[in-house]
Structure 1
Amino acid sequence: MSDTTPAPDTTTPADTAPAPEVAAAVPIPETPAPGADAGAADSQEKKGDDDAGDEPQNTLTRKFSDAEWTAVKELRAQLPEIFAEAYAAKEDKQAPVTLWGVQIDPASPKDARVSVVLIKFLRARDLKVAEARKMLTDTLKWREDFKLAEVLKEEFPEKIFGGLGKIYGKSKDGHPVVYNIYGGSDVNAVFGDVDRFLRWRVAFMEKCIEELDFENVDQMVQIHDYEGVSMMSRTPGQKAAASQASALFSSYYPELLSRKFFVNVPTVMAWVFWLFKALVPAKTMEKFSMVGTGPKVIGVELLPLVDAGELPKRYGGEALGWD
């Protein structure tokens, strides 16, 4: 989303539009795209199974390599210390917590879904355990400081935020498809309160993550639609939201993105995209696709990934979408 960049990472409107997520999302490290050598992948999966020993398994953990299992076990062993640091202000620093719908108990962390969560932090840091530990610690602390539980209960005005993000359909591989729609909203209403926008953005990302089971699917497809977006009149609120959202999702939502498509992109934004290309890790760029304008052109790129019945007509499919 980060992702992770963000569904609307820099999210939102158009001529009253938001800053493009193109520039904001580009620096986010993501999981490498699948390798082309199926035989090598099968071999790696078998080795991972061997190294896992009596580890609880699911579809995703069976794909771990030996090196990944070694890193997971090392990071998992440090969970009591990670919790003690992240929750230093709490009386019970070892209480189980739920991260992305997965309960992590430092006293009993041997669980396949927990392994899937931990590998995300490790992959985002090239399996460097110390760096992954810091990222996980910072994430847990941020969620506490951000008061995420309260944010998820907050009600955001449908008139202002209702059209910015949509979850619709799944890819052929079962990944939920998330649409970030930047055009047609009231920029002043959306970005007049940057903190509120960020709370909405985080809540939307968490809603997207609810579509992942961390057993068979642990990533999403993002489609960022810039139809009608003007780059000539960005407000200070838009710029601040873009910068802060990008930093937030790259820091606290690792490896949740399968593919990201930028569609209906203005020419000036396409240039920004290509300028950033040289600054972004190759494995991240493999997930990004800059697509032209119009259903037919967009469909050529998306239909190999998403069945026509799951893809809205405006993007070249046959589904009604949310219209």
Structure 2
Amino acid sequence: MSQNKFVQAFTEEEKKAVQELKAQLPELLKATAPATDEAPLSSLWGVPLTAEGDDERVDVVLVKFLRARNLDVKEASIMLTDCLIWRSKFKADHVLQESFDQSVLGRVGFLHKTDKEGRAVTYNLYGGDINLEAVFGDVENFVRWRVQLMEKGMQHIDFVNVDSMIQVHDYHGVSLFGSRTANSKQATKEIIKIMQDNYPEVLAKKFFVNVPSWGSTIFKLVRPLLSENTVKKFVICSSSEVSESLLQQISKENLPKQYGGDSVVPELTASDEKTKEKETPLQNDETIEADTLGVD
């Protein structure tokens, strides 16, 4: 009997699909080498991709690609192959060693402690006084930083006790009308594609906090376009519901003070906290991007 709680929860259909996909791993890995001109990757997120042995973490990784493709083994195989090719070309396994200006990018997003089930929590800030030129002036730099933030979260996933993470998207100060730059739109588009294509089924729950009334209206309009499985992971909170909602998921000692907890976030300076107390004035017209809804 399986010792892995996630494998124990597989349906019979999932078990069958996992075994089919696992049997294809040797050839799948070979297929990635010509596309990258490098030796094929032999592991993903620290899990050896092998069809042999009794490491059930492999099954947990594979089922994520299968679920993302409705258990279609062929499509999941293509997705996994493309993911490994992207990781090799992007050098995703090395991004954790790279350095970025946290005084700028730390105000846009940060990883801070875990929820009550040991899952990493990532906070993404969309309002306040974000300097668009400083953040998005170098699109490639921003994209690599954002992937690094995701990889930091993946470090907390061992596929034995934890197989997913939590995200909090904070829209305090965001208006329906605000300035956007060509770089910020390009970066947003790239990040959305990267996350959708290469990090399947790693999100347990996504909180949308301090959502203005127009944000709720937009969500209702696009909800029919989203899968039921995706919508079930969304929790939308108005300003008055933030603390109560987050404290159900995250213990008070781990929740940042900004959200009603006791934890201090190094990435947010005193000046940042003051900024979050102010509303951002209306600026130029903008189109609401997919990231406003957290579709990444």
Alignment partner, residue 118 of structure 2: 174
Give the secondary-structure state (helix, strand or coil) at the position aligned to 1:185.
coil
Q: Aligned pair 1:186/2:134, yes or no?
A: no
**Contact 1:76/1:109 (<8 A) preserved:** no
TM-score for the superposition, normalised by structure 1: 0.76
- Between the aligned partners of 1:238 and 1:185, the Cα distance in structure 2 is 11
Matched residue, 2:73: 129
Alignment-mate amino acid for residue 80 of structure 1:
P
Residue 41 of structure 2 contacts residue 88 of structure 2 at CA under 8 Å; is this kept in 1? no
Q: Is 1:308 aligned to residue 252 of structure 2? A: yes
Q: Percent identity?
A: 43
In 2, the alpha carbon distance for the partners of 1:162 and 1:129 equals 39
Q: 1:272 corresponds to which residue? A: 218
Q: Which residue of structure 1 aligns with residue 84 of structure 2?
A: 140
Unaligned runs of 5+ residues in structure 1 are 1-48, 50-55
For 1:242 and 1:175, the matched residues in 2 are separated by 25
| 1:155 aligned residue | 99
For residue 290 of structure 1, the aligned residue among 236, 243, 247 is 236
Determine if the alignment matches structure 1 residue 227 to structure 2 residue 172. Answer: yes
The aligned length equals 265
State the Cα distance separating 1:62 from its structure 2 match: 1.7
TM-aligned CA distance change 1:135 to 1:112, over 3 Å: same
Cα distance in structure 1, aligned partners of 2:264 and 2:98? 29
The higher-RCO structure (CA 8 Å, 6+ apart) is 1
Measure, in 2, the Cα distance between the counterparts of 1:91 and 1:304. Answer: 48
Partner AA of 2:113 in structure 1: G
| TM-score with structure 2 setting the length | 0.83
Instruction: Report the AA paired with residue 241 of structure 1.
Output: A
Partner of 1:310: helix, strand, or coil? Answer: coil
Q: Cα deviations across residues 163-219 of structure 1 (Å, max 9, x unaligned)?
A: 222222322222222111223321111111111111111111001110111101110
CA RMSD of aligned residues (A): 2.1
Residue 91 (structure 1) shift? 7.7
Q: Which has the higher helix share?
A: 2
Aligned to 1:74: 20
Residue 104 of structure 1 pairs with residue 52 of structure 2: no
1:87 aligns with 2:33: yes
How far apart, in 2, do the equivalents of 1:176 and 1:297 lie? 22
